[in-house]
Amino acid sequence: MFQEILAFILAASGWVLVTSTLPTDYWKVSTLDGSVTITNTYWSNLWKSCVTDSTGSSSCKDFPSMLALDGWLFFLACRGLMIAAVCLGFFGSVFALVGMKCTKIGGSGKSKSRVTCFAGIDFILSGCSLSGCSLYAYKITSEFYDPMVVEMKYELGAALFIGWAGSILCILGGIALCFSIVQSPKGLYEQKRYTVTVLYVADLVGHYSDFYVKMNLNLHFLSLQSYSSFSTLNTGLQVKCFQNKSR
């Protein structure tokens, strides 16, 4: 259960960071390299471009038409990847809350494990925002080092680093959610196997009450899943033995 909670915190934190990059303005910022006189600072994101003058006042302008932009296919790919990542992360959070063992919804243990695994896959796929941020960064760096580009050049903005960090957290949290259910079926199997063993010993002790003390001490060496389950089975064993003795 602790592994699931930790994985959910990682994945949900990454989803929040990825979501916060969409309205963030600073995807790219005009560089100061090679500038003699600096009066204005230009910066933009996937939706608008802005400028800040020497007095500190800013003015922004939304892109009038995506198809009219230079490299509109590039902007379309980045927008699609980021929006898809936000949607996948949202559904991954919902499925994770349903499938985690600490919640009371989602059905039996087997069905909850499946939902948790599906949530982990959603979070891993939401890491596609890593591709969106990387694609945007590639365009900025390629134009920066291209000697044929004589117009204004830009540097990487803070939103890209936030998006990269959020994508990595989503991927790590999704992988952890998928691996958190690996030992669950084994644990259920072991618990059932030892339950049958203890019940068999209870029947045996009922017929041979002289061995009760020795068998009861040996039960402490059974590797049950938890002390609570052992206490429950041990109490049931004592009651069963008492009933058999009183016959």
Nearest to 1 by CA among 80, 113, 92: 113
Helices vs. strands in the chain: H and E counts, helices first: 8, 5
Residue 168 and residue 130 in contact, taking contact as beta carbons nearer than 8 Å: yes
Residue 80 and residue 95 in contact, taking contact as beta carbons nearer than 8 Å: no
Please list, in sequence order, all residues whose beta carbon lies within 8 angstroms of the beta carbon of residue 11, skipping any fewer than 6 positions away.
Answer: 89, 92, 93, 96, 119, 120, 123, 169, 170, 172, 173, 174, 176, 177
Domains of the chain: 1-184 (1.20.140.150)
Q: Is 29 helix (H, G, I), strand (E, B) or coil?
A: strand
Is the pLDDT at 124 greater than 70? The verdict is yes
CA atoms of 102 and 112, how far apart (whole Å): 11
Is the pLDDT at 111 greater than 80? The verdict is yes
pLDDT score recorded for residue 138: 92
pLDDT tens digit sequence for 7-24: 999 999 999 999 999 988
Residue of 107 and 72 predicted with greater confidence: 72
pLDDT tens digit sequence for 26-84: 999 988 765 555 678 888 888 888 888 877 788 888 888 877 777 788 888 999 999 99
pTM: 0.69
Q: How many CB atoms lie within 10 A of CB 230?
A: 17
Is the pLDDT at 121 greater than 90? The verdict is yes
pLDDT tens digit sequence for 176-235: 998 887 754 444 444 444 444 444 444 554 544 444 434 444 444 344 444 444 444 444
- Confidence tier at 25 by pLDDT (50, 70, 90): confident
Mean pLDDT (whole number) for 157-175: 94
Q: How many CB atoms lie within 10 A of CB 67?
A: 10
